[in-house]
Structure 1
Amino acid sequence: MRLDKFLAEAGIGTRKTIRAYIQNGMVKVNGQVIVKPAVEIEEKTDIIMYLDKVVKYAGKVYYMFNKPQGCITARRDESQKTVFDYFKNENMNGVFHVGRLDKDTEGLLLLTNDGEFEHGLMCPNKHVDKKYYFCALGSLEDSDINKLKNGVLIGQGKILTKPAKIKVEKIGTCQDFQQYIGNEKISEKDFKVYKQPMVSGYLTIKEGRKHQVKRMLKAVGCFVFYLKRVSIGNVFLDEALKKGEYRFLTDSELQMLSGL
């Protein structure tokens, strides 16, 4: 492994800053100062030191996290809880989130320290499926469903979203979806709103534009109240994980995601 890659995975800094550290003589390999970032090392046996402190090899980690609503997808924030706050008992140096979920969106989020793995899932050219369960105020006619399948405009310009998959699961009123809406958003006292139509279903997209699912449904007249990512590729959220819990990916899950 390259020395700069090893230090980056160990959480010492970004590849750019690490190259500067190495070139400034701040890193030793087996007691010898090394000034070339591209030097190959044996990460499991060589003794790597940064500022005269041993840097241990953590290896690659791959977490499945059931993100709850109310936390942001970030490493740290001065005023808001982040997804990393749920990993207090783990060494998260060098670990980052794969993509992101909005603060009010819950469900499957992956975290890793493997940059190639992250690139394989998030690169736009890979077109990896990401499946979401939604509850939305409004209704979906056949014409709306066809628009979502073929692509809709979700912002300025003339770039359509890529073809998507959609499956309507349930049609009703707000009263039927109260468990997802929450009393703080719609009160039964507001009769007109409470009796408005709502729809739930699954929307599968291959992109990762900002607020994409919400914006796609808004483009056909639906306002999302609840959103949960349920799968990436062929790997589904482990429903045994409570909100805020995590586990390592299994070998088979990792293989499915790495092969995309």
Structure 2
Amino acid sequence: MSEFEGERIAKVIARAGVCSRRDAERLIGEGRVKMNGKVLTSAATNVTAKDVILVDGQPLPSKEATKLWRYHKPGGLVVSNNDPQGRPTVFEKLREQLPRVVSIGRLDINTEGLLLLTNDGELARFLELPATGWTRKYRVRAFGHVNEASLTKLEKGVEVEGVRYGPIEAKIERVQGDNTWLTIAIKEGKNREVKRICEHLGLQVNRLIRTAFGPFQLGELPRGGIEEVPTRAMKSSIGEKFFKKEDDAHRRWKVQRS
């Protein structure tokens, strides 16, 4: 099928900023997406601009210009739209300040620091891909002590309980009583990776702060602060390749609708 004959429904929903492509596939699986009055059962469905798509009974919003925000997430907030345990979420906290957004990756409830948010689900997916190769940097406070030699070994990667982690850059920042402050840089961002690596070293993490995600830095952004990344800075940091691809896809969609 030619790319001009339609696009996958999950991709169209994500580009509209409703949610990420992964979450769109979940919504389809839950029977919450309709196409031309019928409930969709497969995320493999291709759609065109002539099709009427409803998510939870609401039409897709018009594609807005892609935006990106830096958020200094405090501890105690869940990075989820709905928490089964009823805990406060990032999206509830920011509901009055931002349009509908999705997070680029996640942070555990007690993890603080830089969280990137966007109104473009496709951008979120693009930046989460391992192939993007962006480094995540953290400051870690952990109970216990470790030597530099043990940290140097992490540069070749390590296997912990059957899970293989890629190269990790870790350095001792300072020792503070029974705690050690570390700086850790990783590329993969696997689930609870930093905490599991520290446990492997005999350390117990009691504070974790993400300071950078790729070229974007936490900097002096205050705790709980939110700041939009200027369009020029966003495009130069992410690369024009992504935006050209998205602009081309949006132009095709507009042609189909005309």
Of 161, 166, 171, which residue of structure 2 is paired with 1:162? 166
The answer as to 2:126 corresponding to 1:117 is no
Distance 2:13 2:165 in 1: 38
How many residues are paired up? 218
The answer as to 2:222 corresponding to 1:258 is no
Q: What's the offset of the Cα at 1:79?
A: 1.6
Distance 1:82 1:211 in 2: 19
Q: Which residue of 1 aligns with 2:145?
A: 139
The answer as to 2:226 corresponding to 1:232 is no
* Aligned partner of residue 205 in structure 2, secondary structure: strand
Cα contact 1:235–1:253 (8 A) shared by 2: no
* Aligned partner of residue 139 in structure 2, secondary structure: strand
The answer as to 2:226 corresponding to 1:219 is no
Gaps of 5+ in 1: 27-35, 42-47, 174-196
Distance 2:190 2:18 in 1: 28
Cα contact 1:234–1:256 (8 A) shared by 2: no
Distance 2:186 2:167 in 1: 7
Q: What letter matches 2:234 in structure 1?
A: L
Q: Which residue of 2 aligns with 1:83?
A: 90
CA shift in 2, pair 1:154/1:40, >3 Å: same
Structure whose CA Rg is larger: 1
Distance 2:46 2:174 in 1: 56
Distance 1:101 1:57 in 2: 27
| CA distances 1:2-25 after superposition (whole Å, capped 9, x unpaired) | 795565525399367499623327
Q: What letter matches 2:226 in structure 1?
A: Y
Q: Which residue of 2 aligns with 1:210?
A: 191
| CA distances 1:102-129 after superposition (whole Å, capped 9, x unpaired) | 1111000011132332223211233210
Gaps of 5+ in 2: 40-44, 243-258
CA shift in 2, pair 1:152/1:225, >3 Å: same
Cα contact 1:117–1:258 (8 A) shared by 2: no
Q: Which residue of 1 aligns with 2:37?
A: 24
Distance 1:10 1:151 in 2: 36
Of 3, 14, 18, which residue of structure 2 is paired with 1:11? 18
Distance 2:213 2:58 in 1: 42
Q: What's the offset of the Cα at 1:227?
A: 0.6
Per the normalisation by structure 2, the TM-score is 0.71
Q: Which residue of 1 aligns with 2:104?
A: 98
The answer as to 2:38 corresponding to 1:38 is no
Q: What's the offset of the Cα at 1:99?
A: 0.7
| CA distances 1:45-102 after superposition (whole Å, capped 9, x unpaired) | xxx9967979454432211111000111111325201011221224543x21111111
Cα contact 1:69–1:105 (8 A) shared by 2: yes
Q: Which residue of 2 aligns with 1:148?
A: 154
Q: What letter matches 2:134 in structure 1?
A: V
RMSD, aligned CA: 3.3
Of 231, 246, 249, which residue of structure 1 is paired with 2:226? 246
Provide the identity percentage. 27
Q: Which residue of 1 aligns with 2:66?
A: 60
